[in-house]
Structure 1
Amino acid sequence: MTESPAHPLPPPGERRRLRKAASLTRAQLAERIGVDRAAVRAWETGRAAPAGPRGEAYARLLAGLAQPGTGRAGPATAPSAWAPAPGGRGDAQRPAAVGGGATGPAGVPSLTPAQAFDALHAFCTPALVRQTYLLTGRRGLARESVERAFHLAWQRWPEVARDRDPAGWVRAAAYEYALSPWHRFRPRHRHPEPQPADPAHRALLDALLRLPPSYRRTLVLYDGVGLDLPETAAETEASTPAAANRLIHAREAVAARLPELADPAVLHRRLVELASAERTHAVRPQPVRTRAERRSVLWTRAAVAATCAIGGATTLTLRTAPTHYEAPLAPARAVHGVPPPAAMGPLSHEELSLREKLRHEDGGGPQRLLPLPG
């Protein structure tokens, strides 16, 4: 009989959740255990089972992540300077009830909507601003995109709070706003922003900005954030083969300009360094919630005003509209080329003589000629 391990492994879905709750990417977890990222992906999807000393190390690490207060204790489990893993408030951390004194499944007091939103904002905003900067190359637009994404998240908070991946929901909204083509028509976007001071960072950012937006987003999600290919395809609304082709072409384009980044591991490290070098400051969660509520009130008032205007115009139209059909009168037109009629005047002496002569003539005219019988 085999000896059971000291730390039994949780199910594959729970392994993935524990890693994300601790803000660890697959690459970071693989580095701690001494395996590659593909092995961690196989363990989390259930395609392979860890065994041997590395499997025991993996089980001990997951057991430590499952203990309260240890998810972010050490440097290996601290929030990454590049990207928090989706699910900073994971499925098990989602509040089961809202209100004073309510507790979740594990006996932990649940958070109010405002507290939960503030926790998600504080956890995701720094990394999201850095990611969005790599997508746009503009610091102001990066902060604006993340703020607008959280505005939308607060307006739809019941939907976001129940989502399987709230951080991914906000990230997708921020990316969509940042990559909108309408920003090019804004006056302040007609002038370039200062480039990074490091020449290597400038070269990498320039190579990223030369990629098509869909390729750039796929590269950032896969090689930067650390999502796997199906997750990247789902977030970019593409099929898995299409996402793979985008990733391959994006890597080739970057490697063509910067040959030293042909290795995906080196590219990931350089992306982390470039994102961490930018000191971006985001708005605190309280003003974000206040602005989101104010925006909702303004949009509601605008919708009510538009509805009242349409109703008033409809009522006025019904009151003033004709009740029966009236044929339109054709406009008068001048006719050219027709001589005017002559006015009747007094008859001359010759006309009077002719009239008298005609009156005395036989009205039937001359007699008709008939053939004689032969």
Structure 2
Amino acid sequence: MPGTIALALGKRLETARHAAKLTRRQVHEASGVSVSMIRKLEDGERWPSDTVLVALARAVQTSPEELLDGPRRSDSRVHQAIPAIQRVIAAYDLPEDGPVRPLPELAAAVGRAVEQRVQSQYARLAEEAPPLLEELFRAVDQARGADRAHAARLLAQAVRSADAVAYKYQHRDLSGRLVELMRWAASLAADPALEAAAAYVRMETFFAAGQLGPGLRSLRTAVDRMPTLGTERLVAAAAALHMRAAVAAGRMRQADDARLHMREAEALAGRVPERLYDGTAVGPDSVEVHRLAVAVELGDPGDLQEAVAAAARWAPPRDLPAERRSHYYIDLGRAQVQLGRPQHAAESLLVARQIAPQHVREHGQVRAELATMVRLTRGRDARVMALARWARAV
């Protein structure tokens, strides 16, 4: 059995054991599995037989499926809306006849979808996305000339909003299809800034597949292909690419590359006011948010100490989108966990939950963070346990 898979199962077993407030001896007494075997399983050194897995799951008050695959997805209106999005995009290039509102009205509707995305209102967005996408597919099909380019830009933004739902809620295949649709719409619009935004979003597929090297190359290629940065939109698009490249390089533990991309992002973001550009928040405050994210990905204790200290002096302003602000506190919690401060991390996650509960509850890194916090506190911190159960980390 591959070591990484066995180690992941071991971490889930240890987390479930601490959540149930059980020692290995108590699990042995409840399951009949030896203490030494439990230790080896938790350390990822052994793989359980079906009989042992069932016995251990019963002892730690979970199911074999959750030990193997992790906690089930939370119940949500979002998951119920996913099939409608899938049906609509299946025939994106063969839209049925129907009404199409004037482009200014469609632009207002797309603006609401973008706002729902950046404010992490995923349930409402998932329910309203299918008819909007369907209408935009008709608009692109029927329009000509400059109107078609305008409709394509609107479609790219709406598709990106729908992709946020698919990606956050772990519908990876659907997310990949939506990313390709965004790239298709951006190419129809022949808009370099929008094409750069599509490259920014495409990095999600590389993150999900664990293909960080190709993903980082794709971001660098997108930067190289950009024309002269003669407008605010183009400057912001380039800054966004560098911010995302810095995070990718950090996750690969390429410190020099990560810091180089952060310097590029800082220089570019300093030239534009903080706001949304083609759906991405860019500006000096967004650079600060990414600075913390890069420190967390690199995992250097000195950088983490400095980042946590900086968080005592700076906080993301309230006019930043909720998704970005909540991500800052998620990353702050991750830094605090890495520094062995689970109680401080719980405070950070509570702030993140207050800002954007839907974003926090469905964030994969939050679940991993909370599982680590459960192990660090041995399931004895009531606040940590409440958060972990709310996010279905245990």
Same fold (TM over 0.5): no
Using structure 2 for the length normalisation, give the TM-score. Answer: 0.25
Greater Rg by CA: 1
